[in-house]
Amino acid sequence: MDKKTGKGRQKIEMKLTESKEAHCYFLKKEKKRLFKKVDEYSNLTGADVDVLLFSPSGKPYSYCSTSIDEITDKFFYLKLDDRQGEGDHADVGKSNVFEAFEELRKEIQALDKKQKEHPPEYVYGY
């Protein structure tokens, strides 16, 4: 019996294509694989994971191992504790980052509320 000889699993070369259709197809294919790997990582390690992905057209996709509110709250309050521990030497730029983060968190909560109030057809425009 002859043993099959193949190339096996090989690394796929990553390169930017000019075709917008190719971008959409690649995003659709790779998004599923990325979210599957993130889910596996979360399950294996017990880590809270949040992935935000934006398509070339600007459509957002996300994966959260738990609630996005829990993850952002945990991130925000851990960073806030770090900043408060620095005393009077806190950087002004850091406070601007945290203010922007808090604004984004509020926008996400508003979008979640809007999505719960309206059917998905309304939210995504299908």
With vertex at residue 48, the alpha carbon angle to CA 50 and CA 51, rounded to the nearest 5 degrees, is 10
Model confidence over 12-44: pLDDT tens digits? 777 777 777 777 778 888 888 888 998 999 899
The Cα 85–Cα 79 span in angstroms is 10
Residue 81 has pLDDT above 50, yes or no: yes
The Cα 75–Cα 72 span in angstroms is 5
pLDDT of residue 5: 65
Domain that holds residue 42: 18-65
pLDDT > 70 in the chain, percent: 73
Residue 126 has pLDDT above 50, yes or no: no
- Residue in 79, 70, 71, 69 with CA at minimum distance from that of residue 99: 79
pLDDT of residue 66: 82
The Cα 43–Cα 28 span in angstroms is 23
Q: Whole-angstrom distance between the N-terminal and C-terminal Cα of the chain?
A: 55
Residues 22 and 57 in one domain: yes
> Which CATH number belongs to the domain containing residue 43 in this structure?
3.40.1810.10
